[in-house]
Chains A and B, each alone.
Chain A
Amino acid sequence: MNSLVVLLFWAIIVGLGYFVYSKWVNQNIFEADPNRATPAKMYLDGVDYMPANKTVLFGFQLNSIAGAAPIIGPIIALQWGWLPAVLWLGFGVLLIGWVQDYSICMVSVKNDGDTLGALSYKLISPRSRAILLAFIYFYLLLLATAFGDVISKGLSGNAALPLPMLVAVGTAFLVGHLIYRSRVNILLTTLVAIVLIFGGIALGNYLPIRASYNVMLVALCIFAYFGATLPVWQFIQPYNYASVYVTYFGIITGIIGVLISAKPMTLPAVGSFNIGLGPLWPMMFVTIACGAISGWHSLVSSIGTSRQIENELDVRPVTSGAMFAEFTISVIAVIVCATAFTSNADYLAQLKAAGPVAIFTTGLGGAITSLGFPATFAQSVGGAMILILALTTINLVFRFMKVATVELLGGKVPLARNQHVAVLIAVIITFFLIKTGYWLYIWVLFGGANQLMASLALLLVTLYLASTAKNYRFILYPMFFMYISTVAAIFYTAFFKLLPPVFSGQLTGVKTVGHVLSATFGVLLIVLALILAYDGYQAFKKYRAANAALRLAEAGKTH
């Protein structure tokens, strides 16, 4: 099948989802009103609560939600075949993905810009806020582990990529200095950053740096440590700023390349139902998270975006627009990778040897080459883009884990209040998990934690709609689907994949500890999810009873 048919499917999903379904929900369920004051206007505090233009917010939302996950997830899921991956991406985003991003933002806007924790406290139960925080900590730990492994494997598997990454890190320090210390014009600074980063990408093939997986992993841990402890203006902010242009270039050239080359999909449309990771259901629905639906987005929508919304009508273009844009990135990732390999065996061999970064390097490289760029440069752009995106996430994750460690342990262990100790705790646990766990299972656990958070966000929206006596069914059924699929996937991974080799004696030493620890995290996530589901059901019953009483009272008044 030609890849343009997949693009046609993309266009239908975006058309139906954005222009029909989201418009209907916006008007009929949430009744967006341009005259109602938003939290950004009501509680303007000059920092968190600040109205922003909808296009600026769209860019902010897209940049915050789209990391490497919408690319890596679909690449791994190609093992089940590209058709199931494309169908889940399309129907996932159409029926669940945008609904979550939009509605949790709308609920937050209608509740004074409350965060997910505050909403849980208010709508579910007081203890749910603490459970959610523990949940997020494990989620971030698994995220750091999954991405850490992918990055180390990607850097050690391709000698052309370490140099561009080193140049990108150096450029970040330079950009920070130019903007904040030397006060150089932003346009000139941007130009210098672009020249340096793309120069580094071009030079990578001529100055290869070969290092083992372990060396790259240690280098990554050092990067994570400094990223989390240095002042944000010095490294993280300029790094994120400079890296945006590589992502821009990669996405735009990738889309044009796919359109121009119009290659046939060479990987099998449908692969085996049961692969090494497990059966298609439930495993594929957690392997592909971002691009279809992701709990991470609910954090961005409720914490970052909802407090900057200027007008209720802006919520739809900002949140669902960004979700469909991320869906586009995932579809492009599927197309470039499913058209780049002549056989399934090639794809599987490369995935096993060098991981998803190598697959994307070949895939996006192929698309960019069709625009006339040299193949080596094009492939390096693909590799650099995915690694830069993954490192951006690593920066954010360790920074937040530092704050979370101080908050969670600081009261009991005074030493944990020290930021260096807090970061080191997070780095050491992540290092241990990467070295002892099996990355594909860790990816599934991370995806599971992510999707459970999405289920929780959907539960919160259901409860909000139930409490305001509005139609909640359009969100209730997706919530059930996500919740059941995710719990089943985590359960399967913990009890059918991680623990059997431990009990059968196939593993020895620290590997045993790693598998047991990963399985324990999985079980813990399930227990936390079950407690939240129980509390959520109790709250739902309460709201339904209150609505029934209100209806009775109103009926009494009429008679």
Chain B
Amino acid sequence: MVDKAESKKKKKSGIFGFFKDLTYGMATHGMARQALKTRSSMEHLFILITMGDMLGVPILPPYYSLRLLPYVVPQITTWKRRMLREKDLMDSMF
């Protein structure tokens, strides 16, 4: 009995979830992707200003750069992927 009720609830939330995801995909997913692109541009700048300290060449006063480094290091893997990937004009379309 409980199983039946649970599966009915799950099914209901499934249909609701479907329309929720569909509407999100149609209306908001593009906005979310654009926000991620903006964030990645900011991260690129962030990495640029701390690059010297990462390489051992202090450019900014080292105290501030060293305080920033822990926030930058986790981004390095994805940053490398973005920077090293070959891009063409079409990448800017969607």
Contact = CB atoms under 8 A, between A and B. Distances in A.
Interface stretch (B3-11, B16-24, B50-58, B65-73): B16-24
Nearest to A300: B94
A52 interface: yes
B32 to A, nearest CB: 9
A237 interface: yes
A50 interface: yes
A499 B22 CA distance: 47
Interface stretch (A111-119, A161-169, A269-277): A111-119
A248 to B, nearest CB: 8
A53 B21 contact: yes
Interface string A146-184: 000000000000000000000000000000000000000
Q: What's the dominant secondary structure at chain B's contact region? A: helix
B28 A241 contact: yes
Contact of B88 (A48, A60, A129, A300): A129
Contacts, number: 114
B2 interface: no
A58 B88 contact: no
Contacts of B33: 47, 50
Given A47-B37, A47-B82, A115-B88, A244 B22 contact: no
B66 to A, nearest CB: 24
Given A46-B78, A59-B29, A115 B90 contact: yes
A55 B91 contact: no
A244 B28 CA distance: 10
A47 B29 contact: no
Contacts of A49: 81
A396 B91 CA distance: 14
Contacts of B24: 56, 59
Nearest to B18: A55
Nearest to A190: B27
B37 A118 contact: no
A47 B89 contact: no
A39 B82 CA distance: 13
Contacts of B31: 237, 240-241
A436 interface: no
Contact of B21 (A45, A59, A61, A396): A59
Given A116-B90, A232-B34, 6 more contacts: A47-B36, A47-B82, A59-B24, A64-B94, A115-B91, A240-B27
Interface of B: 17-18, 21-31, 33-34, 36-40, 78, 81-82, 85-86, 88-94
Interface of A: 43-50, 52-53, 55-64, 115-118, 129, 133, 136, 186, 232-233, 237, 240-241, 244-245, 248, 299-300, 303-304, 396, 400, 403-404, 407
19 contacts: A43-B81, A45-B78, A46-B36, A46-B82, A55-B22, A56-B24, A57-B25, A60-B30, A63-B25, A63-B30, A64-B30, A115-B91, A118-B86, A133-B88, A186-B28, A233-B34, A244-B26, A303-B91, A404-B89
